[in-house]
Amino acid sequence: MATFLYKLGRLSFRRRHFVALIWVALLTLAGVGAASAPAAGNSSFSIPGTEAQKAFDLLEQRFPGTSADGATARVVFKAPSGEKMTDPGNKATVQETVKELSDGSEVVRVTDPYQAKAVSKDGTIAYAQVSYKVSGMELDDAAKDALKDSAQDAREAGLTVEIGGDALQAVPHTGSSEIIGIAVAAVVLVITFGSLVAAGLPLLTALIGVGIGVSAITGLASALDLGSTTSTLAMMIGLAVGIDYALFIVSRYRAELAEGREREEAAGRAVGTAGSAVVFAGLTVVIALVGLSVVNIPMLTKMGIAAAGTVAIAVLIALTMVPALLGYAGRKVKPMGEKGKLLGRAKKKDQPAKPNLGTRWASFVVRRPVAVLLLGVIGLGAAAVPAASLELGLPDDGSQPTSTTQRRAYDLLSEGFGPGFNGPLMVVVDAKGSDDPKAVFAETGDEIKGLKDVVTVTPAQPNKAGDTATITVIPGSKPSSVTTENLVHGIRDAGAGIKADTGANVLVTGSTAMNIDVSEKLNDALVPYLVLVVGLAFLLLIVVFRSILVPLKAALGFLLSVMAALGAVVAVFQWGWLSGLMGVEQTGPVMSMMPIFMVGVVFGLAMDYEVFLVTRMREAYVHGEKPAQAVVTGFRHGARVVTAAAVIMMAVFAGFIGSSESMVKMIGFGLAIAVFFDAFVVRMAIVPAVLALLGRKAWWLPKWLDRALPNVDVEGEGLRTASGDDDRELARV
C-alpha cells in the first residue's frame, strides 16, 4: 500500500492543476445540486419491528384518512387571574380561535375544548387539539403561520396562549460557537506549523471535503428522507477528521523535507507513510459509522452512512488534494524545525537539538509506567462513575428550553391536567378475528382501568368496520418517568392475556410508547454492535500493527474513554453539573441513542490516534530500536501532531454545543470530552505505559498468523528498501 500511495502522492504533486480542478468541479457540482434540490426538514421517524410501529401501521390500514403520523398541535389557553375559561368572554375567544384554526387546507380536525371536555377541573386551563394531514416536516409555512396568528389573536383578547406538539418543528441552528471552533483550530494549526500557509492547507482541504459531503447530503435530502441532523453530524465529523488527516500528512511532509528530500519526493513519502495511517484510521471510522445500521433504526442508519461518506471524502482529499496544494505552496511550507517569521523561532544551524515535550513526557512514562498506568485508569474510572446512574429516553417538549412556546404549553398542561397528560398512550385493539369485538373493546378498557398509575381511560373509538378501536390512556406520571414505562409494559402484559382469551391483539403506541420501544431496541443492539465494530476494527489493527496485544490494548483503552465520556454526559445533562456553562436549560434522561452513537463515533476517532501514534513506534521498532526507545521515538515524531489534532477535534466538536437542538448539543459535548479522555489520558499516558511494561511482547504475533496476514506496509518499509535509504537489518517481530 505504501508504494501505491507514494506514487499517488507524487502524481498529485506533479499534476496539481488537474487534481485541484477535479475537486473544485466536484464541489461546484455538489453545490449546484444542493441549491436546486427541494428543501427537507427533520426526517420521518420509524422503528421497524417495534410494537409501537406495528400499531401505527395498523392504524393506517384500519383508519384510512386519519393521518396517524400527521402533525398535531395543542393550543393551550389559560384564563387571566381571577377568571375561568368557562366565562362567556373567554369561551367566545376560544371558540373563535377554534373556528380560525379549522379553515386551514391541511387541517383534518380541531377539537372544541368545551365539547371534548378539555377544560381543567379548576376551570383555569383549556386546550384545543389540531390534527393535520401531513407530518410536521411536511407542513407548509402558511399552516404554521396561521397557527401562530390564531394564538396571537387570542393573546390580544387577554388569554395566555401557548402551542405544543410537533406542528411547529424548527430546523436547528448551531450558532456562532461553530465558527469559534474553526477559529480555535486555525490558531492551533498556526502554532503547530508556525506558518499561515501550512496552517491554511488542512483548513482549506477540510472545508472543501465538508462542502462536498454536506452539499451532496442536502441535494439528496428530499429524495432519501435525510433530516437536518444528518448534515449537521456529517459536518461535525467531516471537519474534525478532515483537518486531522491533512495535518498528519503536512506534518510528515515537513519531516521528510527536514531529512533533505526534494519536495515532490517528500510529498510522495508523506502520502506513502502518513497516508497509509490515514487510510486505516479512516477505515475504522467508516466501519464504526456504517455499523450503526445493525441497530435497524432508519434515521440512525442514514446518519451513519452520510457521515461515513463524508469521512471517505476527507481521506481521498488528504491523499490527493493535500499533496497538490503542497505543490502550489512551494517553499512557503518549511521543513520541520524551521519556523517562519510569523513566530520568530527559527532554529539556528549550530544550535543543538533540544528534546521536545513529547520526548520528555515519553521518557518519564517509560521510567514510571506502573504509576502512570494506575493514575490514568483510576482517573477514567472516577469519571465513569456517573454512568452507573444513566437514564435513557428521547427528548419531548418537556426537555425544551423554558423560552419556547412548546415548553410553556407542556407546563400549562401539566398544571391543569397532570404530568401524564403530556404523554398519552394510544391503545389499538385489533378484534378482527374475535366473535364479539364490542365486548373485547369493553374488556380491554376495564383491564387498563385496573392498572396502577392510570388517571383516565377514554371509551373505545371503533373504526367504520367495527373490528378495530383506539383507546386513549392518560398516565399519572410524566412521559419520561420509569412509572410510565412500567405502565406501558403492564398494558402489554394485560393485552397478552386478552389475546389468549379472545384472540384480539392489543398494541400500545403513541410518542411515549415509541420512545420506550426505541430505548429498548437501542439497548438490545448495543452488545451486538460492540462485537461487530470492535471485532472488525480489531482484525484491521492486527493487519496494521502485526500484533495481538496492541489492538487488544487499543480496544480496552477505548472502552475506558467511552465510559468516562458517558459519565461526563450524565453529570452535565442528567445531573445538571455545569449545565449553565453548557447552555443546558433542562436536565433529564440522556438521549436513547447517545450510548450506541458515542460507541460508534468515539471508537473510530480513538483508533485514529492509536494508528497515527503507534505506527511511528512500530516503525522505529522494526528498524532496530529497543521497545522502550521506540516508544520515545514515536512520541518525538508524533506527540506534538497528535496533540494538535486532538485539540482541533475537541474545538470543532465543542463548537456544536451552541446548537439549539438538544441532540446535537449533547453529541457535540460527548464527542469533545471523549476525544479529551482518549487522546490525552489513554493514548498519551496509558498506551505508552502499557507498551513499556510489555516490551517486546507487545509486538508478538504467532508465526502462522504472520504468514497468513497480508503485508500492508503502513511503515513504508517498501519505500526505504526501494530507495536504499536504510540497509539496516530489521528487528524480528
Say if residue 726's pLDDT is above 50: no
pLDDT grade for 731, boundaries at 50, 70 and 90: very low
pLDDT grade for 66, boundaries at 50, 70 and 90: low
Least trusted range by pLDDT, from 10-19, 151-160, 604-613, 638-647: 604-613
pTM over 0.85, yes/no: no
Q: What is the pLDDT of residues 648-707, one digit of tens each?
A: 888 888 877 877 667 778 888 988 899 899 989 998 999 999 999 998 888 888 888 888
pLDDT grade for 386, boundaries at 50, 70 and 90: very high
Q: What percent of the chain has pLDDT over 70?
A: 89
Treating both helix axes as pointing N-terminal to C-terminal, what angle do 263-290 and 228-258 enclose, rounded to 10 degrees?
150
pLDDT at res. 76 = 92
pLDDT at res. 730 = 36
Distances (CA, A) of 438 to 4, 442, 467, 498, 499: 73, 6, 8, 13, 15
Q: Which of 400-409, 461-470, 601-610 has the highest mean pLDDT?
A: 461-470
Say if residue 110's pLDDT is above 90: no
pLDDT grade for 456, boundaries at 50, 70 and 90: confident
Tell me the average pLDDT across 121-141.
81
pLDDT at res. 337 = 65
pLDDT at res. 39 = 59
Say if residue 367's pLDDT is above 60: yes
Tell me the average pLDDT across 434-452.
88
pLDDT grade for 713, boundaries at 50, 70 and 90: low
* Dist. CA 386–CA 678, nearest whole Å: 18
Q: What percent of the chain has pLDDT over 90?
A: 19
What's at 717, amino acid-wise? E
User: DSSP letter at 119?
Assistant: B
Tell me the average pLDDT across 581-588.
71
Residue 147's φ and ψ, nearest 5 degrees, are -65, -45
* Dist. CA 502–CA 47, nearest whole Å: 28
* Dist. CA 333–CA 335, nearest whole Å: 7
What residues contact 308, with CB distance under 8 A and at least 6 apart?
285, 286, 289, 290
pLDDT at res. 353 = 57
Tell me the average pLDDT across 217-243.
76
pLDDT at res. 339 = 53
Question: 3-class SS at 8?
Answer: helix
* Dist. CA 717–CA 273, nearest whole Å: 9
pLDDT at res. 68 = 56
Across the strands, what pairs with 164? 74
Higher pLDDT, 176 or 704: 704
Give the cell for residue 4.
501505491
The answer to whether 621 and 651 have CB atoms below 8 angstroms apart is no
Question: 3-class SS at 154?
Answer: helix
pLDDT at res. 732 = 34
Q: What is the pLDDT of residues 613-631, one digit of tens each?
A: 888 788 788 778 888 898 9
pLDDT at res. 502 = 86
What residues contact 15, with CB distance under 8 A and at least 6 apart?
324
pLDDT grade for 725, boundaries at 50, 70 and 90: low
In a 13 Å sphere around the CA of 327, the CA atoms on its Cβ side amount to: 21
Alpha helix locations (H) across 333-436?
Answer: 357-367, 369-384, 405-417
Across the strands, what pairs with 507? 428
pLDDT at res. 229 = 67
Least trusted range by pLDDT, from 416-420, 489-493, 520-524, 713-717: 713-717
Say if residue 577's pLDDT is above 80: yes
pLDDT at res. 729 = 37
pLDDT at res. 45 = 58
Higher pLDDT, 242 or 655: 242
Mean predicted lDDT score pLDDT of the chain: 82
Other residues' Cβ atoms within 10 Å of the Cβ of residue 548: 18
pLDDT grade for 370, boundaries at 50, 70 and 90: very high
Higher pLDDT, 321 or 39: 321
Tell me the average pLDDT across 632-658.
83
- Long-range Cβ contact pairs of 185-188 (< 8 A, separation 24 or more): 185/243, 185/648, 185/651, 185/652, 188/644, 188/647, 188/648, 188/651
pLDDT at res. 234 = 83
Higher pLDDT, 168 or 285: 285
pLDDT at res. 330 = 83
Distances (CA, A) of 730 to 618, 623, 624, 726: 11, 5, 6, 10
* Beta strands 72-78 and 160-165, pairing class: antiparallel
pLDDT at res. 615 = 80
pLDDT grade for 371, boundaries at 50, 70 and 90: very high
Say if residue 334's pLDDT is above 70: yes
Higher pLDDT, 592 or 729: 592
Least trusted range by pLDDT, from 60-74, 268-282, 554-568: 60-74
Stated as kind and residue range, the H or E segment containing 163 is strand 160-165
Say if residue 69's pLDDT is above 70: no
Cα 128 to the chain's mean position, in Å?
36
Q: What is the pLDDT of residues 41-51, one digit of tens each?
A: 545 556 777 88
* Beta strands 590-591 and 392-393, pairing class: parallel
pLDDT grade for 228, boundaries at 50, 70 and 90: low
